[in-house]
Amino acid sequence: MRLERTGMVSIDLTGKTALVTASSAGIGFAIALRLAEAGAEVIVNGRSEESVARAVAEINAQVEDAARGVVADAADEAGAATLVAQAGRVDVLVNNLGIFEAAEALEIDDAAWRRFFETNVLSGVRLTRELLPQMIQRGWGRVLNIASDSAVVIPAEMIHYGTSKTAVLGASRGFAKAAAGTGVTVNSVIAGPTHTPGVEEFVAQVVGRDLPWEEAQREFMRTARPQSLLGRLIEPNEIANMVVYLASPLASATTGAAVRVDGGYVDSIVP
């Protein structure tokens, strides 16, 4: 039995299987590793055989035999079907797959809008639709959708991304109602500006490529994300800590919620 201990709080996911989409790197990898450390068997997912194998090896090097991989693109129907078939029983579903990019609002065409909704919204909807009934039948399960502060504070430079994440919040609330009274919870995690390789590239696009990283990060937070109370990018493990809590029996009374790990970015006293 593995226990994650923080003071007097113990999180034990022994015997649970967790599927984390897009978990070969970044936030998804951090989530997968933390779930493994809490005792869960973790299914790592990605589109590249090489990246998935590397992530599985890294997790298993830290938690013996905790992870296995499924290579599939959850952003399309065939890929989602492959993922469900190879995953088998899933007790904890973390819909982490998402894309973002900067674009002028009036220049975002229909194809881009469809691509963002297919990837950021429908990927999670499909997997939830397939796996939620099994959780309900067993009387226990967790569905966690990784959303963004951009769902609430729509960025002028990527309204298609922000709007897709708003839809994620709506879908999460709706699926939580579908699972009402069953022992299964469905929640969203509103992640704030987070330090990932993709965000490093995004910061470079916004503030330029001539600045050293630490200076570029400070300039980005000062000019593009001044609402942040942290004044820095969030680290992936800080998002993962909240996900592991919500995946655990300790969070049994939290469902239909949008829980913020945003560094105070959303200027609201309401969650």
Q: Which residues are catalytic?
A: 161
Q: Which tokens belong to 235?
A: 């680290």
CA proximity to 126, closest of 162, 98, 95: 95
* Rounded distance between C-alpha atoms, residue 248 and residue 265, angstroms: 26
* Region for 219 from its dihedrals, namely left if φ exceeds 0, alpha if ψ lies in -120 to 50, beta otherwise: alpha
